[in-house]
Structure 1
Amino acid sequence: MSLLALTDAQISTWVASFMLPLFRVAALLMTMPIIGTTLVSKRIRLYFALAITVVITPSLPPMPTVNALDLSGLLLIAEQILIGGLLGFSLQLFFQAFVIAGQIISIQMGMGFASMVDPTNGVSAAVIGQFLTMLVTLLFLGMNGHLVVFEVVTESFTTLPVGSAMLVNHFWDIANKLGWVLGAAMLLVLPAITALLVVNIAFGIMTRAAPQLNIFSIGFPLTLVLGLVIFWISLGDILNQYQPLATEALQLLRDMAQAR
């Protein structure tokens, strides 16, 4: 009875066919919203990465032979981590647009002091921004946005094969989209800001007409209440605001991965 004999080339091929995709998928899950937050433990994210890699590995193109102790192998691993991290970071831009929108509305309506610890990032954030983040998270999952992300990262192994080093254009794509995040946030809050600006102008006219009126004791609570009412009314159209932004964010993800 003879033992199974394996050559170094066979072991390297098997290791590369699983480990290189694992690094790209794990980097995506560590940086993308929802799964990549501190709410999901690193062990759970690693289990997710292992499960996804096991499922998609049979359908991936052949991987180059790599020696784990060689410099070329380390460079290939670093390339996969960079690609996965960039794909995840591009999705973070989409979610941060709603966080910035919540911050702007909170400051305009006088709720800038109402902040809480953001459990996803570990920093203090406005309550309205947290509400919008949770709402967008539910919409993203309800519309199967996470499945689109997994589809794109699987297709990226064909459009961005391992060892292609096609990364320079992706940095420019993200840099060009940084301004898009601020513009998207301003579009989200423009109706609320306009309405609150009219309210503040009305208070200014009241102050000029009746100087003896204590505008601070009246204006602050009234601005707060009207701001909440305006925000509640604007939520009725949140789906029409979410869809074009989500479409553009997922299109950016596909453009970065050069997917169809």
Structure 2
Amino acid sequence: MLPISPDWMTQTATLWMLISVRLLGCFMTMPLFAFRSAPMRLRVLLALVIAFALVPLVQSDLPPIDSMPPGYALVFVELAVGLTSGWMVRIGLTAVDMLADVLSQQSGLSFAATLQQDANLASGLVGEFLGLLAIALAFTLNIHLVMLELLAQSFKVLPLGTWPTAWNWGSVLGLVQDAFTLGLVLALPGIVIYFLFNMTQAILARISPQMNLFSVGFAIMIPVAFVVVVLLLPSFADLVQTALESPFELIRAGFGPRL
């Protein structure tokens, strides 16, 4: 019978918990894992299973537990690292959300959401479609596997309880700026098209006041939104890949070796 010391069991259980906390933080915020239909128990179970497989990889280079910060500080830092890594991917996909919201609002498909600000209310037909399409394309690009690989490698180069030095305020603000810029560029064609259409409606209203432009406008604005979507679909995979380039560059910089 092999003797197992209590110190070894305590260190292994603590290590397993810390690894699972970092993974769970990513699963809670990354859009590819944080589905509403995916229960929290499933995400916790997935984090525990992956963490159990990573314990031998991390345990070989692990310093003594006594030399680490207190347990609560370790858990807080690991959870913050996981949450931030998944949140960066979410920020990258806000460019697609911005395009979807512009098309939904301009076409009138999110008219109910405009009048009633409800978090449980759908953002519109176009918004829901483009959001689900972006997540589906991210799965086809194996973004979830790339993220799992980066998380697995992060335990070798980023010690437990350590915040990545590359994730400072300047880099995070730059990531938000890049996502907003890309979203604005994607939404500009729709903004210009609907601006010209609304200007044409205003001219017709002055020429023919008897015409019911409200009903006529909705009948034209909705097909225009679908025309814009059809024009975007051939290059939508490249758009999703471009939107995720900046977040993963920052994630790789944070999970890289400390200089």
Partners in 1 of 2:30 and 2:257 — Cα distance?
18
Residues 206-239 of structure 1: CA deviation (Å, up to 9, x unaligned): 2333344332232232222223222222223212
RMSD between superposed Cα atoms in Å:
2.7
Residue 252 of structure 2, aligned match among 248, 251, 254: 254
Residue 124 of structure 2, aligned match among 126, 129, 154: 126
Residues 37-83 of structure 1: CA deviation (Å, up to 9, x unaligned): 3211111111211221122332235223337xx97122112111111
C-alpha displacement at 1:4, in angstroms? Answer: 5.7
Gaps of 5+ in 1: 116-120
Pairing 1:140-219 to 2, within 5 Å after superposition:
140-166=138-164, 169-219=167-217
Residue 137 of structure 1, aligned match among 121, 135, 138: 135
Amino acid at match of 2:146: V
C-alpha displacement at 1:89, in angstroms? Answer: 0.9
Q: Describe the shift of the 1:6–1:232 C-alpha distance in structure 2 as closer, same or farther (beyond 3 A).
A: same
Query: Contact 1:66/1:73 (CA < 8 Å) preserved in 2?
Result: no
- TM-score for both structures, normalised by structure 1: 0.84
Aligned length: 251
Aligned to 2:64: 65
Q: Describe the shift of the 1:104–1:158 C-alpha distance in structure 2 as closer, same or farther (beyond 3 A).
A: same
**Larger deviation: 161-170 or 237-246?**
161-170
C-alpha displacement at 1:171, in angstroms? Answer: 4.6
Q: Describe the shift of the 1:171–1:256 C-alpha distance in structure 2 as closer, same or farther (beyond 3 A).
A: farther
Aligned to 2:26: 28
Query: Contact 1:94/1:245 (CA < 8 Å) preserved in 2?
Result: yes
Gaps of 5+ in 2: 114-118
Partners in 2 of 1:56 and 1:178 — Cα distance?
32
Where relative contact order (Cα < 8 A, 6+ residues apart) is larger, the structure is 2
Query: Contact 1:102/1:128 (CA < 8 Å) preserved in 2?
Result: yes
Query: Contact 1:33/1:88 (CA < 8 Å) preserved in 2?
Result: yes
- TM-score for both structures, normalised by structure 2: 0.84
Query: Contact 2:110/2:123 (CA < 8 Å) preserved in 1?
Result: no
Partners in 2 of 1:132 and 1:250 — Cα distance?
21
